[in-house]
Amino acid sequence: MTDRFQVHIRKAQSSDCASMLGLIRELADFERAPHEVTVSLDHFRESGFSEKPVWWAFVACVKDEVGKEEIIGMALYYIRYSTWKGQRMYLEDIIVTEAWRGRNIGSLLMNALIVEASQKQLAGISWQVLNWNEPAIQFYKKYGASFDDEWINVSIDV
């Protein structure tokens, strides 16, 4: 229980995409890059719920006194391949809406990811964190995450 609400974690459904995109926009605001979110709702939904999805996700939900569900967090991942390690889960985003931070919801989502990676027999979980996001860094340290300052992020927009 968190306050008077019970939080539960479940796999994301197509109908969750608008709420999930709202969380992604909230994260972009937090990361001082709201203009960087350019994905449309249709493309987002299609990418996760088509015949061949490229991402999967868990959502954290609460129900109010009348049973209305609200998505308050999410963890979106995809499978990447390491030529050295094999298939690994790549955590693209773990997001908890600001009003619900500090209530163990991130841990519930992270635990769901760890169980999923284990059940799928993946070699591990990888992700990135901004070097100034101290709360996230401290959160990940609780899981024994290793931080690598040797590699440089590289990308090309096409």
Q: Give the span between the Cα atoms of 17 and 126, in whole angstroms.
A: 23
Cβ burial, residue 67 (10 Å; 0-12/13-18/19+): exposed
* Cα 108 to chain centroid, rounded: 11
**Which H or E run contains 56?**
strand 56-63
- Looking up tokens 């995450």 gives 145
Q: 105: which residues sit within 8 A by CB, 6+ positions away? A: 2, 7, 60, 72, 73, 96
Active-site choice (77, 78, 90, 140): 140
Residue 140 designated active-site = yes
Query: Which residues are known to be catalytic?
Result: 140
